[in-house]
Amino acid sequence: MQRNYFELFGLTGAFNVDLDGLDQAFRLLQAEVHPDRFAAASDSERRQSLQWATHANEAYRTLKNPLSRARYLLQLHGVDTQEESNTAMPADFLMRQMEWREAIEEATDGGDSEALDALSRELRQEVRELQNGLSALLDERGDYQQASDVVRKLRFLDKVQAEIDQAIEALEN
């Protein structure tokens, strides 16, 4: 049962995946292994069906999300992203992050949801650019160490995006 997530869905182990193909392969696999299909089966078969369905769900969630997919690819290549322990970042990246956080605070204090929306758009563009770079690092160059650095940056940006989302929600309430 423990095929890697890409093999499970018949995909090439790469950062750039065909998301429509992933969706389709997931639906087909779910139809095969869904526990409802095994309602009249033995306890063992029902348990195995549940394990397969759980594995398929986890694999799908991992591959669907670009950051999770990159982490998983790095893990397959024996690279630990050290997101918890290695928080070292280039100075320019840290400065931008501080500027974004200050801008979030100013917009929140001023009740300026348009400024928060603009920050969110800017951040999403930054994420897209980093993901494009990640694609080249993982799929073309096999530079897993540098890809690991990009994954850590993306994790930071996820946190900043969550702060923006919370600030927007707070202003709407």
Per-residue pLDDT of 104-150, as tens digits, reads 999 999 999 999 999 999 999 999 999 999 999 999 999 999 999 99
Query: Lowest mean pLDDT: which of 32-36, 76-80, 169-173?
Result: 32-36
Domain holding 95, by residue range, is 91-172
82 within a domain of the structure (yes/no): no
54: domain CATH number is: 1.10.287.110
C-alpha to C-alpha distance for 80 and 72, rounded to whole angstroms? 10
Whole-angstrom Cα distance, residue 45 to residue 58? 20
| Residue 3, helix vs strand vs coil | coil
Residues 55 and 99 in one domain: no
Inter-residue contact 114 to 105 (CB < 8 Å): no
pLDDT at 2: 60
Residue 17 pLDDT more than 90?
A: yes
Return all residues near 79 (Cβ < 8 A) that are at least 6 apart.
144, 145, 147, 148
Q: Does 30 lie in the same domain as 97?
A: no
Q: Which residue among 64, 80, 99 closes a domain?
A: 64
The total number of structural domains in the chain stands at 2
- At what angle are helices 66-76 and 144-172 packed, to 10 degrees? 160
